[in-house]
Amino acid sequence: MIELKRDEIEELVRVNEHDWGDVEPSIFGTLFERTLDPGKRSQIGAHYTSREDILTLLEPVVMAPLRREWEEVQAKCDKLWEKVKKVGERSARAKGVSKERAAFEKPLKAFVERLAHVRILDPACGSGNFLYAAINLLLDLEKEVIAYGAAHGVGLLPQVRPTQLAGIEINPYAQQLAQVVIWIGYLQWMQQNGFNAPRDPVLEPIESIRLMDAILDLSDPEHPKEPEWPEADFIVGNPPFLGGKRILSELGETYVASMRRVWDSRISHFGDLCCYWFEKARQQIADSRCERAGLLATQGIRGGANREVLNRIKDSGAIFFAESDRDWVLDGAMVHVSMVGFDGGNEKTLILDGASVPAINSNLTVGADTTRSRRLPENEGRAFIGVQKSGPFDVSDVEARSLLSQPSPSGKPTSDVMRIYWTAVDMVRRPLNIWVIDFVQRTQEEAAQYGTPFELLKDRVPESRAAAHFQEYPFWQLWRPRGEMYQAIAGLERYIVTPHVSKHRLFSWADVCCCPSNLLIAIASDSDVDFGILQSRCHEVWALALGTQLRERESGFRYTSTTCFETFPFPKPTDEQRAAIAAAACELDRLRSNWLNPPEWTREEVLEFPGSVDGPWARYVHKPNQRGIGTVRYPRIVPRDEECAGKLKKRTLTNLYNERPTWLDLAHRRLDEAVFAAYGWPADLTDDVLLANLLELNLHRANAESDCG
């Protein structure tokens, strides 16, 4: 019982004065979402799906095979009708007429019966918009059959009913609302299309819209298990949008532990929540409990851990339909999604982004299937994700200078544990001059002997490390210190960095005294040849194909050390070719550096502080004493004055590559020609051919390594 206040009753009276007979049922989805608490909404992934998006998925997944069936039935009936007419011409009362007419009517009645038994399941049905649209499409097709029969003197009655739809929903209100939405849509269709519909119907419950968790059965909490989905001809829907990194915080440790226990061998712990729906639908098809499925996900489904579920779909069946990158508005922000239709491999018509294709790869591309690429041993241990702080380890430039000048109880210089912190912003925009206190793998006793830096972290960090998953990690150390990275770059004066995510695939040099953040990929090489190869079109095309798109193309792609770098087949150039690549790479770097920091607007500033010949600043230590401690004289480029600083703000690598001036194009062209020559390929190869060549080279080397093993 809901108690209503006077003003609420008056509002209901006013609302009741309107004619609600033609209300659009899908509007209830929006109303439902807005009634949810924002936190709960993110947990269950309740997001309104537009009719256009729904139809884009329903048409190829559900309706295309049904329409083909109808075309076959209609073609058969057309032939049978010719026989009816011939018999009728000989004798309107001949017995043959009823026999031929019966033969004509049989497939029509059978197909109407077929439509009445089509089962469509939405395993994350929300307020029922997918199912509402689906029954409208079924009714439209049924009407077409009825109209065809009527034109040939055959009376057929509509048999499609809401009760043949099935849904799974975890929210009780949404589960009830879905049934109402479906019934409203059904009754409206009946009335608008000339069929008798009751004026004051008592809505029959749709028992097949189940209130349950679609991916975890906790009826016995001690023994969680995979839930049973109802059998269906088609599975369609929009599973929750919840990224892998947010699953633990949104769903809770207990639930996630049970979920991973049940799905451990099939879904990566790093996969998005929607992957569980994709895998369950795939299994339903493999177990002959479903014919086809079509699900919607963020476009991240195409890469990383998420793509594993699409690989499994390809292994047991096929992807026959996909929209790889589609606009989507989520909480007022534009994101991009992918739509995927898959089956057991029976569908022969394959459609990718609106075009017919011979095959659809598991990364939702056509052409060279780079998902088959393999990691090459020759590239292992060369590329690393930068450090992850997970706490306030960073200090400002002013604070850093103060710390660097202070003595420590150990007698060692503070510079041993302080580095310039390099982020993707420092690389593609302008340096932020942020420092980080980095005790690497020092014990608490060793770290404490540096005095002030340790005490500073002792005051700042513990509060930010309160979460359970931090308990085993010492507060004075970065959460992911990347000791293996430091070992790899030890002895180098510089190394190569590239942003984990960026619009343009850019590479730059970082000084070995810099600490790269986890938003950078650090590559342990000081070779101009490696730099040139990585900055060439060959590697750019490969990285774009193997990386993961972020939202839309304008926002950039993710670059990972495992998929983009370790799989990349570097050329094996001759000495002459190496020299040509190195020269072109150095020239590109020189031109970019001059544009970024023109001498007219900049000057060199030298920082001086105590440093050790064994520390990260070793190459800058001057006149070390017997204890190996001297003066660090670290040079860096700074604006000449405030006016120059304002001008330099626009001098960023991102802006440079957005503008792409002629001199930059020419420098890249020279570099590309040198790198392509090292592969023995012409520099004018199309991206598709280049990608196919690189994939062939990758597989050849991987197979050669296997044979040697």
The torsion angle over the Cα atoms of residues 440, 444, 449 and 454, rounded to 10 degrees, is 70
Using alpha carbons only, what angle is made at residue 549 by residues 235 and 268, rounded to the nearest 5 degrees? 55
Angle between helices 662-679 and 575-596 (to 10 degrees): 160
Per-residue pLDDT tens over the stretch 452-502: 999 999 999 988 888 767 778 889 999 888 989 999 998 899 999 999 988
Using alpha carbons only, what angle is made at residue 590 by residues 674 and 565, rounded to the nearest 5 degrees? 55
Residues 6+ apart with CB under 8 A from 131: 120, 122, 125, 165, 167, 178, 181, 182, 209
Angle between helices 537-546 and 687-708 (to 10 degrees): 80
* Residue found by looking up tokens 């993110």 in the block: 42
CA-to-CA distance for 29 and 110, rounded, in angstroms?
35
The candidate with the shortest Cα–Cα distance to 181, out of 339, 12, 31, is: 31
pLDDT of 551 reads 54
- Over pLDDT 90: what percentage of the chain? 66
CA distances from 454 to 443, 449, 610, 612, 677 (A): 11, 8, 18, 18, 53
Whether the Cβ atoms of residue 277 and residue 214 lie closer than 8 Å to each other: yes
For the beta carbon of residue 345, count every other beta carbon within 10 angstroms.
Answer: 13
Instruction: Give me 674's structure tokens.
Output: 């040198």
Q: Is the pLDDT of residue 657 over 70?
A: yes
Q: Is the pLDDT of residue 591 over 90?
A: yes
Model confidence at 44, pLDDT cuts 50, 70, 90, reads very low
pLDDT of 45 reads 45
Model confidence at 638, pLDDT cuts 50, 70, 90, reads very high
pLDDT of 200 reads 63
DSSP lists the bridge partners of residue 388 as 480
Note the Cα 514 to chain centre separation in Å: 30
Q: Which helix (H) or strand (E) holds 76?
A: helix 64-90
Model confidence at 329, pLDDT cuts 50, 70, 90, reads low
Residues 6+ apart with CB under 8 A from 362: 302, 307, 310, 311, 313, 314, 319, 369, 371
Q: What average pLDDT does the segment 654-668 reach?
A: 96
pLDDT of 331 reads 54
pLDDT of 195 reads 85
Q: Is the pLDDT of residue 621 over 50?
A: yes
Q: Is the pLDDT of residue 445 over 80?
A: yes
Q: Is the pLDDT of residue 662 over 50?
A: yes
The length of the chain, given as a count of residues: 709
DSSP letter for 521, please: E
Model confidence at 707, pLDDT cuts 50, 70, 90, reads low
- Higher pLDDT residue, 635 or 2? 635
DSSP letter for 359, please: -
Q: What average pLDDT does the segment 495-514 reach?
A: 94
Q: What average pLDDT does the segment 383-408 reach?
A: 93
Q: Is the pLDDT of residue 372 over 60?
A: yes
Instruction: Give me 37's structure tokens.
Output: 């608490």
* Residue found by looking up tokens 């879905």 in the block: 178
- Higher pLDDT residue, 89 or 446? 446
Per-residue pLDDT tens over the stretch 213-268: 999 999 999 999 999 999 999 999 999 888 877 888 888 889 999 999 999 889 98
* Residue found by looking up tokens 């770098």 in the block: 565
Distance linking the first and last C-alpha atoms of the chain: 73
* Residue found by looking up tokens 């982020």 in the block: 423
Least confident residue range of 4-18, 49-63, 509-523: 4-18
pLDDT of 201 reads 61
Q: Is the pLDDT of residue 526 over 90?
A: yes
Largest Cα–Cα separation, the chain: 122
Using alpha carbons only, what angle is made at residue 389 by residues 387 and 394, rounded to the nearest 5 degrees? 110
Model confidence at 198, pLDDT cuts 50, 70, 90, reads low
Instruction: Give me 361's structure tokens.
Output: 């790869």
DSSP letter for 332, please: T
CA-to-CA distance for 304 and 381, rounded, in angstroms?
19
pLDDT of 41 reads 44
SS3 350: coil
Angle between helices 51-58 and 129-151 (to 10 degrees): 60
Q: What average pLDDT does the segment 274-279 reach?
A: 96
SS3 349: coil
Note the Cα 84 to chain centre separation in Å: 57
Per-residue pLDDT tens over the stretch 289-312: 999 999 999 888 888 888 899 999
Least confident residue range of 56-70, 225-239, 360-374, 458-472: 458-472
Whether the Cβ atoms of residue 419 and residue 487 lie closer than 8 Å to each other: no
Please report the sign of the dihedral spanned by the C-alpha atoms of residue 18, residue 22, residue 28, residue 31.
Answer: negative
Q: Is the pLDDT of residue 35 over 60?
A: no
DSSP letter for each residue of 263-313: HTTTS-TTS-THHHHHHHHHHHHHTTS-SEEEEEEEGGGGSGGGHHHHHHH
Residues 6+ apart with CB under 8 A from 663: 591
Q: What average pLDDT does the segment 62-87 reach?
A: 92
Instruction: Give me 474's structure tokens.
Output: 């010492």
pLDDT of 42 reads 45
CA distances from 448 to 410, 437, 444, 452 (A): 9, 13, 6, 8
- Fill in the amino acid letter for 381: G
How are the residues of the chain apportioned to helix, strand and coil, as percentages rounded to the nearest 5? 50, 15, 35
